[in-house]
Structure 1
Amino acid sequence: MALETVLLALGPGDAERVDRLAEETIDIAGPSGATVVLGHVFTESEYERAIDQLGFDPTATEVSPQEVAGRHATVRELAERLEAADVAVAVGGAIGEHGESIVGLAEESGADMVIVGGRQRSPAGKAVFGSTAQTVMLSAPCPVTFVRADTS
């Protein structure tokens, strides 16, 4: 299977994982020449907060999740790092529950692989709070690579 499109799924906790996500994504997408879609998912409240924080005027025109994602600091930083490594980048955005929306972005973009970051959680923590990564791994239409946050 050739990798043509890799979805790097991003959310609110990924600013602290930028180094690891960039490194792993470059290692995967670089040799294959794949385009990386930086897909940022927002809950409704995260989206409204981001529109306000990023200075959009929501009354002038409808602001798409993709536009908001493109201005998000984590997306911009990852785009710069990937482009510096000669990896082609596109931006995607979605509003909704993180796991389901990531799966939707993977389907929409025709992703051949999804990369998702996360932290180690106990089984009880997953049962109580859910796990975005687990939802993606069980529901994605393609293979999923999980990048764990540094534990050091």
Structure 2
Amino acid sequence: MAIETILLAVGPGDIDRLDRLAEETVDVAGPTGATVVLGHVFTKSEYEDAVSKLDFDRERDRVSADDVANRHASIRKLVNAFKNAEIRHNIRGAVGPHGEQIVELAKETDADRVIVGGRRRSPTGKAVFGSTAQEVMLSAPCPVTFVRSDTK
């Protein structure tokens, strides 16, 4: 199966692993020529906070999740990395439960691979994995690559 579209799922906990996520994504997208969809999922409260912090004029404009994602610092950093590596990319935003929305973005974009980040866990933490990454791994319509951060 050819890899034509990769969904790189980014959320609020990924700021410390953006470089690693970019490296792993470039390692797959570069040789395959895939387009990377940078998907930033916000909960309702995260979306509201981001709209406020990014100074959108809500009375003048309708602010979509795509608009917020396009202006988000983590996405801008990844965009720079992909431009430097000459990787085609586009940006999508979504509002809702992280895992559920990542799976939905994977379906909507017809992703051939999803890349998600997560943190290292203790044995007890692994037993209680119940995380966004686990939900995506179990529910995504395509293979999922889990990029673990080096910090605990």
For the residues of structure 1 that align with 2:107 and 2:99, how far apart are their CA atoms? 13
Contact 2:41–2:98 (CA<8 Å) still a contact in 1?
yes
Percent identity between the two aligned chains = 65
Letter in 2 for 1:90: N
Match of 1:76 in 2: 76
- Deviation of 1:62 (Å): 1.5
Map residues 59-74 of structure 1 onto 2, 5 A cutoff: 59-74=59-74
Contact 2:120–2:150 (CA<8 Å) still a contact in 1?
no
Letter in 1 for 2:20: R
Give the length in aligned residue pairs: 152
Deviations 1:22-79 (A, max 9, x none): 1100001111000000000000000000000011111212111011000000001101
Task: Output the aligned Cα RMSD.
Answer: 1.6
- Deviation of 1:120 (Å): 1.9
Structure 1 residues without counterparts, runs of 5 or longer: none
For the residues of structure 1 that align with 2:65 and 2:28, how far apart are their CA atoms? 26
Match of 2:98 in 1: 98
Letter in 2 for 1:28: V
Q: TM-score, normalised by structure 1?
A: 0.95
Q: TM-score, normalised by structure 2?
A: 0.95
Match of 2:57 in 1: 57
Match of 2:120 in 1: 120
Match of 1:89 in 2: 89
Match of 1:136 in 2: 136
